[in-house]
Structure 1
Amino acid sequence: MSTEARPERASAARLPARTIALYAIGSLGTGGYATLPGLVLTYFLTDNLGVAALAAGLIVTSAKIWDVVIDPLIGAASDRQLARTGSRRGFMITGAMTLPLFFALTFAVPPSWGPTAGAICVLLAFLATATSFSLFQVPYVALPAELTGSYDERTRLLGWRVIVLTAAILLFGAGGPELRRAGPDQVIGYLLMGIAAGLVIGIGMYVASKTADAAASRVAPASPTEHPPSVREQYASGFRALRRSQPFRALLTTFLLQALATGTMLAGAQYVATWVLRSEDAVTLVFLALVGPALLATPGWTSIARRIGKERAFRIASAVFTIAAASITAAVWAPGAWIYASVAVAGIAYAGLQSLPMAMLPDVISHDERTNAPGQAGTFTGVWTAGETVGFALGATFVSLTLAATGYVSTVAGATAQQPDAAVTGIALSFSILPAVLMAASIVALSRYRLRRSDIEA
């Protein structure tokens, strides 16, 4: 690829408030897509369509594996679009315009179609939804490295993004189930939820695509001097990025493990509300306990990162989350409202887990640009998004495997079932000790991250 597309950045220039606001609004899309399917899709399949727990987990995992396949290709194609036009916006708009339809179709399948037909239709619709989201998300994650070269400005940019992200988690995590109950029955309720949520996600994605224009003003379009690379070469470029950048390997491994931990808790939240706290509506309170503290804590993590560095702040946030998740293990023997307190502590840490690694990724990309060729941010973010997707996908898979192994009883809409004690115990453990172990492993991976402020601002 031509090196004429090198971003022209002022390393210490302060980003305009408009640019930060437009970029942050994109988290309405990322927060909604990450939260609502992870929260209710497996439950929709097992307790509305009557799909077996193991099959439900495989459906969610299959769609996420598709993300892993296409994300590196989208990243490489986004880099070529940037070199050719000076902007990544085309892919982002395509994703924003198509996602609302596919998202609504995912939750439009009625129980009357039967578990098999219903499962197939949900799988196809969710595959299309995942494709639309990747078209937006991969270039979206690449933009911070092109918007500013400042170590602290990236923390500021991503800090505001996470404030909107946590608000989106609250909006979709608490509002989604409320919309589901707004319909005359559960079937219509899920459809209303899918339509409304899809529209909000798409609007957030479309607004954020305008940020690509701000990045475009710092990038000079280049005339490609070579034929477009083959699919094999596009995958190979991602593997080369992993091989040559030790900081990227360490940060990606950390983030993947943490996505797996939080994805496991997210997929288990509805089951915890229904069978541990004995109230399907309690899922709203779980999200209030998680997101309320996170909204307040994000500026604090930004301030801590400026004082002691993103890496140390990230390590502290990870340790706090590990302790909070592990404490919920006591729910196996003594379930109760005290769980909300542990979730709130996890919420404080969660704000740091979202903002800090996303602010560190542009540092990794710019470090690689100085030591290798520029114009490969999309390649990095394609691999990054694929890794994040694997984590969240396997989180849902772990929960579904736990349900299947402990004898969870699936039902259709309107029917009730009594769960065995082993299933309830498995639900509690998948929401507590399993995420804690995964988070502890991520701290070990993070210890291998070597970049510091001096490396970025040199």
Structure 2
Amino acid sequence: MTVAADAPPLRRPTRLAYGFGSVADGIKSAAFSTYLLLYFNQVLGVKASVVSTAIALTLLVDAVVDPLIGRMSDLTRSKYGRRHPYIFAAAVPAAFFFGMTWFPPAGLSDFAMGVWIFGFAAFARASMSMYQVPANALGSELTQDYAERSRIYGLRYWFAYAGTFAFAAFALKFFFVATPEYPKGQLNPAGYVPFAITAASLIFISILVCGWGTRSRIPYIRQADEREASPGLLSHFKEMGVAFKNRGFLTVFGFAILKWTAIGLYGATSLYFGTYVYQLSSGQLALLTLDSFVAVCIALPLAPKVTKWFGKRNTSLWMALIGITLGTSPLWLTYFDLFFPPGHPLLLPTLLLIGAVYGTMVALSLMMTAAMLADVVEDDAVTSGKHNAGIYFAASSFATQCASGLGILAAGFVLETSQFPGGVDPALVTEAMTDSLIAHYVPMVMGLWAIGCLIIWFYPIDEAKHLANVERLRAREAEAKARDMQDAPLGAPAR
């Protein structure tokens, strides 16, 4: 890799623009993980197994696209750097294919609906990967500071949560308005038209803001050597395979697969629990959804502090384990008839309080693992001699996308095995139906988080090792600059 110039301090507008770029991924994740299954299953009446299987099959696209984009961006050399060409190119197709997913032609069979979902969701995911993988890799190149990385990835997660939960709360309040025909506004098909159009527009804006706002850093980001510009397909897969030899990456990857499967399962079923178990209105669900955004606002300033107090690994592990135990407590207490019944005046305040604490813990865990992955890039560079951020963040993006899809597939499994009916009137849902749903959901989601925490326990990079890695890389870069100056003809610019 060509050594980058010494970068000036990272400015606040650049950090904000980079963070704002994750609004696109937050909106896409919320829409596909939470609303897509509910819309096609409960509003349009498509079987849950068909919808969840169609979404899960898009993983086949991610399995090919994500690693290739990451590797290609690592090897790209242009006047716009190696990340920004992909970021700018993704804006239009990501918004277009996302929007089209929500507008299937009338009269399609369940199978045809599944094909429609798979086709447009797959194109939307691929377009988002073309943006998301290079953008995530860019974060590791904005700074090498151990604590600063926690800040910028914390900021990125804050905006992702804004996209996920603030927009979802806005949609529940203003798009999914209750009517006499649809007292549960989230089941009103008319609300999904402005929802889809607004979401697609925000995805487009978010991607452009990220690319334009970080363009000033292009001169200070490593470029690929010209001789690496045309790798073969076999070379791509060989380079990607290197990532799975790094112990630090394997622990983060394993944790990511399990935690995002659990998060995907939660996202796909949360509206079911709010609608049928707690019997909340769309306005109450908006408050409950906004609660998760409040949680990340609490987590953001805490991220650099807990990094110094406990380290990234311990924070990620214990916040996840304690958080999921607390977060599922209303459900298993409801199962044993120990929680507030629907309509009780303390039900919503208690759910809000638990959600804020649980959400803060999970947000801290997610922020830490993103920063841990950035540290893995330097750890690999010490041994490989290459700064392959694209490869690692592509693999992480695939883990996220894959696991989110697996979470939706798991949600379909939970709904089918619990025999929860599709297109059912909330007034006809019985306690036996909701108890069966809870009994199938809680053990699965807690088991996924517990196994993930066991894996992340073996993450090997602490602050001391990270600082040693950075110093070794700086020494190598200084030697490379000295050789360039020594070998260059008199008067030639140093690259």
Q: Aligned in 2, Cα 1:432/1:416: closer, same or farther, shift over 3 Å? A: closer
Q: Aligned in 2, Cα 1:83/1:164: closer, same or farther, shift over 3 Å? A: same
User: In the alignment, what sits opposite 1:91?
Assistant: 86
Residues 326-335 or 31-40, more deviating: 326-335
SS of 1:217's partner is helix
In the alignment, the residues of structure 2 paired with residue 220 and residue 119 of structure 1 have an alpha-carbon distance, to the nearest angstrom, of 43
Say which one has the larger Rg.
2
Residue 405 in structure 1 maps to residue 417 in structure 2 = yes
- Are 2:316 and 2:368, in contact at CA under 8 Å, matched by a contact in 1? yes
SS of 1:181's partner is coil
Deviations 1:110-146 (Å, cap 9, x if unpaired)?
5544433333222211111111110100001101221
In the alignment, the residues of structure 2 paired with residue 187 and residue 370 of structure 1 have an alpha-carbon distance, to the nearest angstrom, of 54
Q: Aligned in 2, Cα 1:212/1:77: closer, same or farther, shift over 3 Å? A: farther
Q: CA deviation at 1:301?
A: 2.7
In the alignment, the residues of structure 1 paired with residue 223 and residue 417 of structure 2 have an alpha-carbon distance, to the nearest angstrom, of 55
User: In the alignment, what sits opposite 1:161?
Assistant: 156
**Matching of residues 116-195 of structure 1 within 5 Å:** 116-181=111-176, 186-195=188-197
In the alignment, the residues of structure 1 paired with residue 431 and residue 87 of structure 2 have an alpha-carbon distance, to the nearest angstrom, of 46
- Are 1:95 and 1:136, in contact at CA under 8 Å, matched by a contact in 2? yes
SS of 2:227's partner is coil
Q: Aligned in 2, Cα 1:423/1:90: closer, same or farther, shift over 3 Å? A: farther
User: In the alignment, what sits opposite 1:365?
Assistant: 377
* Amino acid aligned to 1:240: V
Note the residue ranges of structure 1 that are not aligned, 5 or more in a row: none
In the alignment, the residues of structure 2 paired with residue 127 and residue 431 of structure 1 have an alpha-carbon distance, to the nearest angstrom, of 27
* Amino acid aligned to 2:385: A
- Are 1:60 and 1:393, in contact at CA under 8 Å, matched by a contact in 2? yes
Residue 347 in structure 1 maps to residue 359 in structure 2 = yes
User: In the alignment, what sits opposite 2:75?
Assistant: 80
Residue 331 in structure 1 maps to residue 326 in structure 2 = no
Deviations 1:4-38 (Å, cap 9, x if unpaired)?
2x44556xx74211211111111211211111211
* Amino acid aligned to 1:378: G
Within the candidate set 292, 309, 312, 2:311 is matched to 309
Q: Aligned in 2, Cα 1:101/1:179: closer, same or farther, shift over 3 Å? A: farther
User: In the alignment, what sits opposite 1:283?
Assistant: 285
Note the residue ranges of structure 2 that are not aligned, 5 or more in a row: 183-187, 341-346, 469-495
Residues 134-143 or 77-86, more deviating: 77-86
* Amino acid aligned to 1:436: M
- Are 2:137 and 2:389, in contact at CA under 8 Å, matched by a contact in 1? yes
* Amino acid aligned to 1:257: L
Percent identity, aligned pairs only?
A: 22
In the alignment, the residues of structure 2 paired with residue 264 and residue 386 of structure 1 have an alpha-carbon distance, to the nearest angstrom, of 17
In the alignment, the residues of structure 2 paired with residue 284 and residue 161 of structure 1 have an alpha-carbon distance, to the nearest angstrom, of 23
Residues 353-362 or 428-437, more deviating: 428-437
Q: Aligned residues, how many?
A: 450
In the alignment, the residues of structure 2 paired with residue 422 and residue 120 of structure 1 have an alpha-carbon distance, to the nearest angstrom, of 33
In the alignment, the residues of structure 1 paired with residue 73 and residue 430 of structure 2 have an alpha-carbon distance, to the nearest angstrom, of 49
User: In the alignment, what sits opposite 2:485?
Assistant: none
**TM-score under structure 1 normalisation?**
0.91
Q: CA deviation at 1:74?
A: 0.9
- Are 2:414 and 2:441, in contact at CA under 8 Å, matched by a contact in 1? no
- Are 2:74 and 2:82, in contact at CA under 8 Å, matched by a contact in 1? no
**Matching of residues 31-46 of structure 1 within 5 Å:** 31-46=26-41
Q: CA deviation at 1:305?
A: 0.8
**Matching of residues 256-267 of structure 1 within 5 Å:** 256-267=257-268
**Matching of residues 53-72 of structure 1 within 5 Å:** 53-72=48-67
In the alignment, the residues of structure 1 paired with residue 271 and residue 406 of structure 2 have an alpha-carbon distance, to the nearest angstrom, of 17
Within the candidate set 395, 398, 401, 1:389 is matched to 401
**TM-score under structure 2 normalisation?**
0.84
Deviations 1:340-382 (Å, cap 9, x if unpaired)?
4332221111220221111111111011112212231111111
RMSD: 2.4
Q: CA deviation at 1:148?
A: 1.1
User: In the alignment, what sits opposite 1:51?
Assistant: 46
